[in-house]
Structure 1
Amino acid sequence: MRTQKIGSLGFLDRSHIPLLLQLLLLILFAGLLMAIVIQVFKIPSSEEMQEEKTKQEKMYQDLSQMKSNIDSLCRRCPWDWTFFDGNCYFFSKSQRDWHNAITACQEMEAQLVIVKSHEEQSFLQQTSKKNGYAWMGLSDLNKEGSWYWLDGSPLSNSLEKYWNEGQPNNIGGQDCVEFRDNGWNDASCDNLKLWICKKSATSCSSK
Structure 2
Amino acid sequence: MASEITYAEVKFKNASPAAVVEVPPEMKKHEHHPQKYPPWLPWLISLLLVLVCIALVIVLLGRGWMCCPRGWKRFQGSCYYLSDDMMGWAESKQNCTEMGSHLVVINSEAEQDFLTKDLKQSSKGKNYYIGLSAQKVGQWQWVDQTPLNEAAAFWRTNEPSNVDAEMCVVIHAIPVIDNWNDARCERHYRICEAAAVTV
TM-score calculated relative to the size of structure 2: 0.61
Q: Per-residue CA shift, 1:111-154, capped at 9, x if unaligned? A: 000001110011112222443210000011x2211110011111
Cα distance in 2 between the residues matched to 1:195 and 1:138? 12
Indicate whether 1:176 and 2:168 are aligned.
yes
> Which residue of the partner structure matches residue 8 of structure 2?
none
Task: Give the SS at the match of 1:96.
Answer: coil
Choose from 158, 171, 180 the match for 1:166: 158
Q: What does 1:85-100 correspond to in 2, within 5 Å?
A: 85-100=76-91
* Counterpart residue number, 1:133: 127
- Aligned mates of 2:118, 2:139 — CA distance in 1: 27
- Residues 25-45 of structure 1 deviation map (CA, whole Å, 9 limit, x = unaligned): xxxxxxxxxxxxxxxxxxxxx
The amino acid that maps onto 1:148 is: Q
Q: Decide which structure has greater helix share.
A: 1
Quick one: which amino acid aligns to residue 73 of structure 2?
T
Count how many residue pairs are aligned between Structure 1 and Structure 2. 128
Distance in structure 2 (CA, Å) of the matches to 1:164 and 1:81? 26
Identity %: 34
Indicate if the aligned counterparts of 1:129 and 1:179 stay in contact, CA closer than 8 A.
no
CA gap 1:157/1:171 in 2 versus in 1, 3 angstroms: closer
Structure 1 unmatched runs, 5+:
1-73
In the TM superposition, what are the counterparts of 1:180-199 in structure 2 within 5 Å? 180=172, 181=174, 182=176, 183-189=179-185, 191-199=186-194
- How do residues 104-119 of structure 1 correspond to structure 2 at under 5 angstroms? 104-119=95-110
User: Contact between 1:114 and 1:136, CA under 8 Å: does it hold in 2?
Assistant: yes
Asked if structure 1 preserves the Cα contact closer than 8 Å seen for 2:137 and 2:164, the reply is no
Letter of the 1:102 partner, please give it: K
Is there any run of 5+ residues in structure 2 with no aligned partner, and where? 1-64
Instruction: Give, in angstroms, the shift of residue 86 of structure 1.
Output: 1.0
